Amino acid sequence: MKNHPTSPLKIIVISLAVIGIIALALGGYLTPVSRIVLKPLINAQTWLATRYQAIQSYILEPADVSTLRQRNTDLEAEIARLQVEIIELQQQVNETQVLSTLVDYARSRPENKYIAAAVIGRDPSPFFHYVIINRGSDDGLRSGMPAVTQQGLVGQIDSVTAGAARVQLINDPASLINVVLQQTTTDAVLVGSITGELLLEMIPQEVLVQPGELVVTSGLGGNYPPNLVIGQVSTIRRRDYDLFQNASVQSAVSFTQLEIVLVIVNFLPVDITPLIPTAEVP
Amino acid sequence: MLAILLAFPLFLILVVLQSAIVSATPLLQGTADLILLTIVAWTLQEQVQVHWQWTIIGCIVLGFISKSPLVIILFAYLAVTAIVAIARKKLWKVPYLAMWAMTLIGTVIVQVITLLGRWLEGADIPFLQAFNLILLPSLMLNLLLAAPVLALVHDLANWLYPQEMEV
């Protein structure tokens, strides 16, 4: 092999050619040329890269899917847990609101002592309007103590066990309460009914009762403390040939929504039976 | 003996369910009666011999919670058990039809006797109101629940009294 010596002229020509090409490229004169040359190259690379990515994702995706599925399951479990927590917290907020209102009510009547109790059941027979509360004689509850909510009178404890008590609601058909109409200061008797409606009986005919009049306990008979709110007169039934007029009362308490009640523990009914005159046998 | 022992926890659970959930979800003023349905379904099972004991246990457990006097409860539910026992022996053998018929009769008996008890107590309850607002809705709810209760009680009876296969 022969070694051709590199002449300076050759170097200069090559350098000038390179500089010329660079100058043409910088001046933009080679763009059409490079487009023609590079386009097939770019197309080929694009095709190759797309296929490669497809193959790569085909190989790697199952692992990603399983990871994502696992993650999704974890997140769904987390969402379910948080939703349960939200419901629990909402229940606590509701209970706190009810208790807060009950505390306000208790504070507004400092003469009474109260024990709060949750309603845990109802009488299995629909003929009896009774509820069962989760406090009993161990907590100081006794038969005859009145139960109230912040809205008004709920009923009276009928029987007590160590840990629970049964409360007769004021809308029980056998319930009889001496009440007073606050505006007209008229005494009347409040009776319950099977429909849950409260009825006022024994209102004298001459009294002008108006709808909306407040009905409170009178304390007569000693079964309930006076001035416990019961509700408002809604409709009046007055017939000229009757001895008394009747009225229905819209209760202040929603008996179907009872959750927590306050039992007035410093009140016990007075037994007035010995004071009731009996017919003497000759 | 196992069946009698099982009756106590079963009726306790049923009474708790009845008091806490079923009685709190009335239709008009009527509610379903899980105790009645269980007693009827249990008495209808041919292989069961301890239906009287179950009725008495159910009544005692119910008497703890209900204001209704135990005598009234016993009288009502034992009367239903007697009728169902007669029907089981002498009438048809179609279990679901028998269950529905006995539920209908049982509901009427229990509700009427309870109403009589309340009248004796002095409560002023008009019969028509009781019929429309309590008896009919209770009957409807009981008839709705009769089939699932019968299926569950039937499974329980088969578990307690496995029937021999005839070859």
Kind plus residue range of the DSSP H or E element containing A255: none
* Cβ <8 Å between B19 and A123: yes
pLDDT tens-digit map of A201-239: 888 888 888 888 899 998 888 888 888 889 999 888 888
- Please give the sequence-ordered ranges of beta strands (E in DSSP) within chain A, or none if there are none: 114-122, 130-133, 146-148, 153-160, 165-169, 176-181, 186-191, 198-204, 214-217, 229-237, 244-251, 260-264
A268 vs A236: which has the higher pLDDT: A236
Chain-centre distance for alpha carbon A215 = 30
**Single-letter amino acid code for the residue at A205:** Q
User: What residues of chain A lie within 8 A of the CB of B23, using their CB?
Assistant: 121-124, 126
pLDDT tens-digit map of B103-112: 999 999 999 9
| pLDDT above 60: residue B166 | no
B165 to chain A, closest Cα gap in Å: 41
User: What residues of chain B lie within 8 A of the CB of A155, using their CB?
Assistant: none
pLDDT category at A1 given cuts 50, 70, 90 is very low
The domain segmentation of chain B, as residue ranges, is 2-16+32-160
DSSP, collapsed to helix, strand or coil, labels residue A218 as coil
DSSP, collapsed to helix, strand or coil, labels residue A166 as strand
B144 to chain A, closest Cα gap in Å: 17
What's the average model confidence in pLDDT over A90-102? 83
Per-residue b/e over A20-49, b at no fewer than 16 CB within 10 Å? eeeeeeeeeeeeeeeeeeeeeeeeeeeeee
Structural fold of domain A176-252: Thrombin, subunit H (2.40.10)
DSSP states of A77-111 as a string? HHHHHHHHHHHHHHHHHHHHHHHHHHHHHHHH-TT
CATH code of the region A114-169: 2.40.10.340
The ipTM is 0.89
